[in-house]
Amino acid sequence: MRSLRISLREFLLLLACVALALTIALNRFRTDKIYLHVYGTAVEKGHDRYGTDLTLTNGVDAWVRIATADVYTNQPFGFVTPNNRWPHIEIRGIVRRRWLGGYDLKVEFNLDDHNLTYICDENRTLNLEEIVYIDKSFDCFLLSSNPDPYVSLKSALEPTPPRNSR
């Protein structure tokens, strides 16, 4: 019977392949808790019982949190909040973390307020605290690591400082 013998180089190569496979598997199947914050301007007064930051506006009206949901990467999510069209919101989707940073988001929105009704699908890649406008004047959303919707929106609306050019 012949014994199995491998060189040190083969052993290190095998070890590197196993480590790479484990890293890929952990990145693909690990779940991170992030938050989906949805904002609107055509919202009934007092909708957000925690208050509104009146400095966060679209130029005319203040952005008010419509809904916040805990979202886990690689797991489908969804919720419905019937608010007598102030607004009614129904969301279903999934978020996947990208290998080199950012998130792939696939989401279906049904937003119905007293002004407009949006039924839309979003498939996009985005970073945390990056605003996605469903309609520039009335509704937007973002993914965040922060559970506070107004802190998240404030950091997303702040202009990025210019890079120093040399």
> What token pair was written down for 27?
């990145």
Per-residue tokens: 57: 């506006």
| Cα–Cα dist 96/125, whole Å | 9
pLDDT digits (tens, 9 = 90+) for 3-22: 678 899 999 999 999 999 88
Q: Which pLDDT tens digit goes with each residue over 88-143? A: 889 999 999 887 788 999 999 888 877 778 888 889 999 999 999 887 778 899 99
Helices marked H in 7-102 — which ranges? 8-29
Sheet containing strand 132-135, edge to edge, reads 64-72, 33-40, 139-144, 132-135
Model confidence, pTM: 0.78
Give the distance from CA 139 to its chain's centroid. Answer: 15
